[in-house]
Chains A and B, each alone.
Chain A
Amino acid sequence: MLTRQARTAYLLIAPALVLFIVFTAYPFLWSAQISFTNWDGMNEVKEFVGFQNYLNLFKDPEFHQSIKVTIVYTSLVTIISTILGFGIALQLQRRRKSSAVYRTIFFSPVVTATVAAAVVWQLLFDPFVGVIDIGLRALHLPAPNWLSDPTWSLVAVSIVGIWKRLGFAIIVFAAGLTSLPTACYEAAEVDGINAWQRLRYLTIPLMKPVTALVIITGIIDSVQVFDHIFLMTSGGPMGSTNVLSLYLYNQGFRLFHLGYASAVGWTLFLLVLIATMLQWQFARRDKS
């Protein structure tokens, strides 16, 4: 028999647990089962095909392209938003008075509806009436046809990804900076440390756990990116922005290859899992 305390505990976690099972665990396992069939989402029969979907996946050039695009997008967004976020957080720390205003400004993209933002960015990137190209032309710089040119489209959607992600990085870094031990800085001050040394030997090492958090959440976030790319380019032109989740969506809900799409989903899940485990491994080794 359960103790009274245990019973209360189970009762309290029950609502969350039920939601987790219904909306996460069950679909998760069901998609694993579907990934071994060639089901189209509709047919009465779900024909078992073993590992065929996974084998096809590794031979599919579109899947390879999609992985490449996802890696480039994830690297661009994560690296740039982390570095920029750290730099801006440092600046904000120095200007304490105005920092609340700036923090709000930088954070607003995070809470802006992605759909609305994507539509606005689409206009900004327009080659004829878009502000970006009008500005570039005024500066006599090449004004690319951002969303229609296979060489620039990924850059364009990455810019939106960085814009969307930056606010989160800044807030986390800013919070981390305020919680750094002042004693270290005071001791260093006494030893006559200069600004660069303070950043290089104190702030950056002390901020490592925070940086790891920003990078890990950044990667998890970017690997699963869908909405603004779906709206801005639908993965095109010529697959140049066809990230994994778009590829999955198209396979599952446009082409009705639900079994194949489930296999893509599981591969994506395993990739994220491995990336996260590697990062924790590095973070842990650094600590010891």
Chain B
Amino acid sequence: MTIEFWNYWDGGNGKALAGLVAEFHKKNPNITVKPVTFPWGDLLTKLQASIASGNAPALAATDIAWMANLHQSGKLLDLGAGLGGVKKATGDIYPALLAYSMYKGKLQSLPVSTNNLSLFYNKDLFRKAGLNPNKTPTTWPELRTAAMAISKLGNGIQGMEIYVQPGEGLTWQFQPYLWQSGAGFLNKTNTAPTFNSAAGKSALQFLVDLINVDKAATAGQWGAFDKGQAGMRIDGSWMVGGYRDNAPFEFGTAMLPIPVGGVHATNMGGEQIMAFKGTSAKQAAALKFITWFTSTDVQARWDVKTNFMPIRASVADSKVILKHVASEPALKAFIDQQKYAYARPAITQYPAVSDAFSKALEPAFYGKISVAEALANADAAVRKALSGK
């Protein structure tokens, strides 16, 4: 019995998966799981095509942002029914992650990895600017002071790199500021925006001022930090391994700075695994793999190899993980911050909402329109996207 497992884990993550799959084969000699890797941007399109033509793979793992759309394809297997009830299937998996797993009361996917956004900073530039590389900004005013000091180095060096290209990238990078300030993004029922408020304005104004008043950041392309051309940037834990091996500078990480009187918040990313309906033999094999892959022992080793964050408490507390974090100090900020990770709305309109939101904000970063105008436009555009046009 051979079943395909579609995903977008390439490079080190792909190798990590291949190693684990080989272990699974040893324990289950009658099942062969064949990982098939697509580029991130292609996976969903390939899944769409395979679902439409009735050739869906037995297993797939995708970005949580796509789950709402996949859930309503009608082709996902009910994991609750297959694994002896939702409670038994989920165990001590963090409830926030399950926001993406349920559809109409059924469990149709399970988290296999999570991550969040933290502050990366360039220790070399901190030193050059006369800042203490072991004392990172913890509040927005401190972030501003540090960014301004670094941008004074000249040569186009930015204090803080801000993501201003429209799309989910902009939205997902900006949402933590909204949550930290108390503005939020959508209401509890995901039916209306909440960001067009005084708190929301203060969040956007902070970044817009960094660019247009303090000149400590530039509105434009993303990538300056990688080249050592920016002092700080917000990014995910998956960048830790790459920076450790390739960055032309010494880097560190820290929890995201928050506004004075604000709360800790970051954005939650990650992947979920799902099985597609097929022959009962294939379904059984897929369920067996999911149970194994989401188990504490396998997840702990998976996280060590990939620098993803634990999906369940038992993984976070495991000796394997504790030892790993001790040897990779840059991960500490991410682990500390995971409990403050907010889930983006798990609704089918989310991609359209995010796109409309980001496009409305973009001109404000370039100083073309005021913050109030941008948020008012975003409010109207998001309401329209929520209504499905």
What's the Cα separation between A127 and B155 when bound, in Å? 10
CB neighbours (8 Å) of A147 from chain B are: 220-221
Least distance between B4 CB and chain A CB atoms (Å): 19
Please choose the segment from A77-85, A167-175, A249-257 that sits at the chain B interface, where 4 or more of its residues have CB less than 8 A away: A249-257
B14 contacts partner chain A, Cβ-Cβ < 8 Å: no
CB neighbours (8 Å) of A209 from chain B are: none
What's the Cα separation between A203 and B164 when bound, in Å? 51
Closest to A258 in B: B48
A286 contacts partner chain B, Cβ-Cβ < 8 Å: no
CB neighbours (8 Å) of A149 from chain B are: 220
CB neighbours (8 Å) of A256 from chain B are: 69, 348, 351-352
Contact with A along B141-165 (1 / 0, CB 8 A): 0000000000000011000000011
B218 contacts partner chain A, Cβ-Cβ < 8 Å: yes
With A38-B388, A40-B348, A150-B366 in contact, do A234 and B165 touch (Cβ < 8 Å)?
Answer: yes
CB neighbours (8 Å) of B227 from chain A are: 129
Question: Which of A38, A128, A150 contacts B156, CB < 8 Å?
Answer: A128
With A238-B366, A256-B348 in contact, do A145 and B72 touch (Cβ < 8 Å)?
Answer: no
Closest to B355 in A: A255
Least distance between A60 CB and chain B CB atoms (Å): 9
Question: Which of B70, B351, B389 contacts A254, CB < 8 Å?
Answer: B351
Q: Chain B: interface residue count, which band?
A: 35 or more
A224 contacts partner chain B, Cβ-Cβ < 8 Å: no
B79 contacts partner chain A, Cβ-Cβ < 8 Å: no
Q: Chain A: interface residue count, which band?
A: 20 to 34
What's the Cα separation between A151 and B220 when bound, in Å? 12
Contact with B along A119-145 (1 / 0, CB 8 A): 000000001110000000000000001
Tell me whether B70 and A42 are in contact (CB under 8 A).
Answer: yes
Contact count A vs B, C-beta below 8 Å = 74
Query: Which of A40, A62, A239, A253 is the most central at the interface, judged by chain B CB atoms within 10 Å of its CB?
Result: A40
What's the Cα separation between A254 and B227 when bound, in Å? 28
What's the Cα separation between A148 and B229 when bound, in Å? 16
What's the Cα separation between A62 and B355 when bound, in Å? 12
B45 contacts partner chain A, Cβ-Cβ < 8 Å: yes
Least distance between B167 CB and chain A CB atoms (Å): 7
Tell me whether A148 and B359 are in contact (CB under 8 A).
Answer: no
B271 contacts partner chain A, Cβ-Cβ < 8 Å: no
Interface residues of B in 209-226 (CB under 8 A from A): 218-221
What's the Cα separation between A255 and B69 when bound, in Å? 10
Question: Which of A41, A237, A254 contacts B362, CB < 8 Å?
Answer: A237
What's the Cα separation between A254 and B166 when bound, in Å? 12
Tell me whether B45 and A253 are in contact (CB under 8 A).
Answer: yes
A56 contacts partner chain B, Cβ-Cβ < 8 Å: yes
What's the Cα separation between A149 and B164 when bound, in Å? 12
CB neighbours (8 Å) of A239 from chain B are: 166, 359
A176 contacts partner chain B, Cβ-Cβ < 8 Å: no
With A148-B220, A256-B351 in contact, do A237 and B72 touch (Cβ < 8 Å)?
Answer: no
Tell me whether B219 and A237 are in contact (CB under 8 A).
Answer: yes
Question: Which of A44, A128, A257 contacts B72, CB < 8 Å?
Answer: A44
With A148-B220, A236-B362, A237-B220 in contact, do A255 and B48 touch (Cβ < 8 Å)?
Answer: no
What's the Cα separation between A2 and B352 when bound, in Å? 55
CB neighbours (8 Å) of B51 from chain A are: 42
Tell me whether B164 and A127 are in contact (CB under 8 A).
Answer: no
Question: Which of B70, B166, B218 contacts A236, CB < 8 Å?
Answer: B166
Least distance between B114 CB and chain A CB atoms (Å): 23
Closest to B351 in A: A255
Contact with A along B107-140 (1 / 0, CB 8 A): 0000000000000000000000000000000000
Question: Which of A41, A44, A62, A234 contacts B167, CB < 8 Å?
Answer: A234
With A237-B220, A256-B348, A256-B351 in contact, do A44 and B362 touch (Cβ < 8 Å)?
Answer: no
Tell me whether A255 and B72 are in contact (CB under 8 A).
Answer: no
Tell me whether A42 and B73 are in contact (CB under 8 A).
Answer: yes
Given contacts A147-B220, A238-B166, A254-B351, could you give 12 more A-B pairs where the C-beta distance is less than 8 Å? Answer: A41-B52, A43-B69, A43-B73, A43-B74, A56-B389, A148-B218, A234-B167, A237-B219, A239-B359, A250-B167, A253-B45, A255-B352
B residues sitting closer than 8 Å to A (CB atoms) are: 41, 44-45, 47-48, 51-52, 69-70, 72-74, 155-156, 164-168, 218-221, 227, 229, 348, 351-352, 355, 359, 362-363, 366, 368, 388-389
15 A-B pairs whose Cβ atoms sit less than 8 Å apart in the complex = A38-B388, A41-B48, A42-B72, A43-B72, A127-B156, A128-B156, A129-B227, A148-B220, A236-B165, A236-B362, A237-B362, A237-B366, A239-B359, A255-B351, A256-B352
